Amino acid sequence: MGSRKQVVMIAHDNRKHDLLDWASYNSGTLSKHQLSATGTTGRLLSESLGLTVHRYLSGPMGGDQQIGAAIAEGRIDLVVFFWDPLEQQPHDVDVKALLRIAVVYNTPIACNRSTADFLLSSPLMDERYTPFANAD
């Protein structure tokens, strides 16, 4: 990982407002990194923050799978995924696969605001970092 991180942000419908609020509060820090997001979340973030946000497909249309592939290829350094654990998702299998792939590839993933705050405020966000590879 370089000092400029590849940060991807995802939010289920019931959590989009929370993610937008968090991203707005942290826009100064986020502006130092390359940002991407799933479909609608990416559009909302770009409009809200005034920053360039690369957009994958929406989650149910394959965006979660695209992000999983990007993690496996080493193109994502950090995931902020405000998912809704209380609401069944039509693409629940893809959501679980994305969470699993982040763990398999030792990619930091924040699923709530507190964890996202801790990750974003880490001194490692502005430094080069080599994650330990998980054993096969």
**Cα 17 to Cα 20: distance, rounded to the nearest angstrom:** 5
21 catalytic? Reply is: no
pLDDT for 66-101, tens place per residue?
A: 999 999 999 999 999 998 776 777 667 888 899 999
Q: What is the mean pLDDT of the chain?
A: 91
Measured distance CA(112)–CA(47) in Å, rounded: 22
Q: What is the pLDDT of residues 38-61, one digit of tens each?
A: 999 999 999 999 999 999 999 888
> Choosing from 13, 18, 21, 64, which is the catalytic residue?
64
Q: Where do the domains of the chain lie?
A: 6-122
| CA–CA gap between residue 122 and residue 136 (Å, rounded) | 28
37: enclosing H helix or E strand: strand 34-37
User: Does residue 135 register a pLDDT over 60?
Assistant: no
Residue 24: which residues within 8 A CB-CB, separation 6 or more? Answer: 48, 49
Answer whether residue 134 shows pLDDT above 80: no
- Residue 7: is its pLDDT beyond 60? yes
For 6-122, CATH number? 3.40.50.1380
